[in-house]
Structure 1
Amino acid sequence: MNCEEYRQQLIQIDGILEACDDDQQKAELLSLKQNIEELLSLSAEPSNSLHHDPLDNEYSLFLAEMAKEEAAPRNPYKDIEGKKFRAPHAHRFGQTVYHNAMVCSVPSEIGNQDFEVRVLFLNPTHKEMLPCPYYFDIEKDCKFSDDKCRFSHGETVLYSSLREYVEPKFEFLTVGSWVLAKRSDNLWCRAKIKHISAGSCTIKFETQSKVEEVPLEHVFPMKSGDEESEEEDSDTETSAINRDEAIINTSLMNVPSNQALGEWEKHTKGIGSRLMRNMGYIVGAGLGRDGLGRVDPVPAIILPPGKSLDYCMKLKERRGDVNLFSADKKLKRRQRSTNFKPAQPKKDVFNVVNEALRTTSQSDGDKKERQRFRESLKVESEKKLNVTGLLLHENIIKCERAIEGYKETLGRSPEDSHVHKRLIDKITWKQDILKMLRAKSALLVQEQQTRLDRRKMTIF
C-alpha cells in the first residue's frame, strides 16, 4: 500500500468522525488516524535532510520479510480445513460406517499423499463421536487425554479415505420417511416423520414411544432423493438374491445330520424356528449371514456335580465314549429305569413255602426290633429324642438316594447278568432298611406326642 492510499484513508476517517456520535468509536477512529499519520511520516523521505534515518532500514527489512512470506510455498491441502466430507468411523462393535464430518486440522508438513487429517463428525450417533465440551473452550482444557476421554477430541483419518459430502435434500422429506434427528443429549438417532410444518416437523424416535417436535435444522434426511434410494434398493435386492443362491448351493454340499435342527420344538410352539426363518435362515444351511456357520445343533451335556472339567474330559477319554455326558442319552437311561419292571420268578411249591417262611421270620424280627426301640425311647431325654429323630431323617434320605442309584444302574445292566441279580437283592435289602427306619421314625414321633399330651394334662 503506497502513501496515496494512506492519505485517502485519512480523508475517509475524517468524514466518519464528523458523522459519528459514539464516543468509543470516535476514540478508535482517532487512534487509527494517529497510527496512519505516523506511518506516513516514517515512509516519507525528507528532501532537506542530509543524514539517513535508521527507521527506514527497519521498515525495508519488514517489507522484505513480508515478501518472503508471500513467496514461500504454501500447503496446497490447507484449503480443505473447514470443508465437509464423509469420513469413516470404526464403531466399538467392529463395523466401519461413513458419517458426515468436517476437517478441522491438516498437518503443516506433508511427506506423502497418504497423510492423516483430523475430523469432527457433524451428526454424531454415538457418544465417542460427540465433540468434547472443552474442545472449543479457549479458557479451559479437558483433563483427559484423547484416548481416555469419553467424548471426541477429533478423530484422525487418512485423507485418501475421505468421500465427497452429499448435501441433504430437504425437498424430498415426506411423512413416513426415515431421518436422523437430534436428541436432547446432542446425539443423532433414527426417527420417522409424523407431520411436517413450516420450520419444524413432528417425529417419533425409533427407541422411544412418544412423539416430539423438532426444528428442521435438527433433522437430516437419510436418503437423498427417490432415484438414489431406488438404486440402493435395487442393488441391495440383487446382492441378497445372489447371497441366497450361494447359501443354497453351499447347503446342498453339506452332509445331512442325524439330528434335525430344532427337533425339540415338537414339544413347543416352534417360535425359535419361525424367528430364524424370518431373519433369513435357510433350512439345511449353516448359521450366519453367508451360511458358513455351524450346521449341526449344539448338543446339550450334563456334567456330574462337584467335578472339574479336566476330570470329566479324562473320564470321557478313559471310557472312550464321546456321548458319555449327553443329555439325550441320560434322559433315555432315566426313562428306561423308570419304566423298568423286574422279572417275576417262577412260582412253584418250594418257592411259595420258602417265601412264606422268610416273610414270617423277617416279620417276627422286625416286630422285636421295633419293640426294643419303643422301650428304649421311654427312658431317653427330650434332647436325646430330638437328636435321634434328626439321625433317622438323614438315614432315610441316604437310603432313598441309594435305592434311586441302584434303580438307575439296574436299567443299564442286562436282565440275565449276574450284576442284574445282585442289584435286585441290594434294592430289596435297602427297601427293608428304609421300611424299618420309617417305622422307627413313626415310633419316635408317637413318643414325643405322648410326652407332649402328658405335659398338657399335668398343667391342667
Structure 2
Amino acid sequence: MDNLKEQLAEIRGLLQIDPDNADLTNLAVDLETLIALQDQRLADPDNATRRHDPGAELGSTGSSAFEDNTIDLTQNPNEFDLKEGGKCCIPFIVASATYFLPAMVLRLDRESEEATVLILTPLTRESRPCDWFLDGRCNADICGRSHGITMSLEHLLPTEVLNQGSIKEGAKVLARYRDGIYYRASVVAMDGPDGPFWVNYEGYGDEKTKLNADQLVPISGLGVEDDLENSGENGSEEEFESDEWTSDTYEDDDDNEDGPSEETRVTFHYGDGEAMGTWEAHTKGIGGKLLAKMGYRIGKGLGKEGEGRLRPIEAEVLPAGKGLGVVAERLQRKRKRPREPGEAKGRHKRKHKGNRDAKSGQEPGQQTPPADVFDFLNTSLNQKSTKSSAYISKPEPPTRAKPPDRHKLHVDLINVETKVSQLVTALSRAKEALARNKGDPKIAASYRVKIHELEGTLRSVQQSEAAIQRRLNTEKQKKNMINF
C-alpha cells in the first residue's frame, strides 16, 4: 500500500510539470482506484473481505477494449475470503505494464501477512507451474518452472477484478498457447455466448485458433494499453506460430511426463512433408527452439523479406588440415605409372649398378665424350676404381675432437656474470662501511682485510669470465669459417 501511495505521489508531481500528459493522468486514476480497493479490503481484516466501489475500473486505458473491465459489486456482492487452495488475482509485471492474473493460494501466513501463490495463466517461461511440484514429486534444486511466488497479502485481489464476462468479439485477451504460456490475442469470432472463441495471436497474420473460455483471460492492469500499442507496432518476439511447428513428444503441458524441467522439442517440416534438421533428434533441439522464437515461418526464406535460403547448408566433411576449397576427389594420390600385370605390390627391388656410370647410368663404352676440359676432369675423377683396387683397405678417417657444449658455456658465463655483480655490490658496501668507521681502528682494520679479500676474489672471477668469453668467441669464429 505504501509503495502504491509513493508511486501516486510521484505521478502527481509529474502531472504538475506536464498537466496535459494523458498517459500520466490515466495512470494516476488507475492507482487511485487500486488504492481505494485496497483500503476497502483492509477495512474488515477479520474476514479479509473486500467490497468494491460501484463503477470502479481496473486497467482502464480509455479504449473500448477495456470499457467492460469494470468491477461493480453493488448488484452482486461477494466476499473475498483468502484461504489455502483458493483462487485470487495478483499483479504481475511484464516489461512496462502490470497485468492482473488469476492465481491459486498455496500457503497463507497471517502473522507475516504473506502468501505463496501459483500463477494459473503464466506470461513467461519462468512463471509456468511445475506439474511435478503439484504432485509432490519434483525434487530438483533448480527447476525450469515455478514452484510459487511469495508476496504480501495487500497485493492479492479477488478474481472479480478480471471480469471474465467481458470477453466478446473484438476484445483483447490473453490466450493460452501450446507451450502453456498465455500470449496477447484478439477475439475475432464466437460460436456462442460461452464460446468456443476464435482468436488471432498478435503479430502472426490472420491465422485463427479455436479456444475455450477457460483458456482466455481478459486483459486488465496498469499501463497495459501502452504495452499493447508497442507490441502492435513492433510485433511480438516471443510468440510461436500456432500451425507452423509441431512437437515430437508434446501433446499438452499437463500431460508432459518427461521430467520436472524437460523442455518441449520443436521441429519443422518442408512443404513436401520432409522433416527439416533431422540431426536434432540427437541433440537438445536448441536450433529449432531458436528458429521458432525468432518467428521462422515454414515455406518462407530467411531475412526480413523472406527471400533468403529455404534449406539449411549441408555440412561437408573434408580431410583434416585441408581448406574449405579443397575438392575431396583431388586429394587422392594417383600412381605415376600403371602397374604391370604380375608385378608385386610394394617396394621395387634395387638394380645392380656395377657397370653403369654413377651419374648417367649408362655403360662405360656408351659414354659421350666430354664437351670441355672441366667435363673431362670431372669424368676422370668420378670414374670407379678397378676391381683390384676394391680389395685395398681404405684408411679410416681420423676421429674429430668433440666440440665443446656451447649451451654449457653460456650457462657458465651467466653464472660467472651473476657472481661478479654480487662481488661488486659487496665490495661497494664494504668501502662505504670503512668510510663510516674510520674513527675506530679495530673495525676499520677488519673492513680493510675484507675489502682486500673481495678484490682478490673479484679479480679471479673476472679472469674466469674472460676465459669463457674467449672460448665462445673462438667457437663462433670456427663456425663462421666453415659456413659459406
Q: What's the TM-score once normalised by structure 2's chain length?
A: 0.27
Structure having greater relative contact order (Cα 8 Å, sep ≥ 6) = 2
Indicate the structure with greater helix content. Answer: 1
Q: What's the TM-score once normalised by structure 1's chain length?
A: 0.28
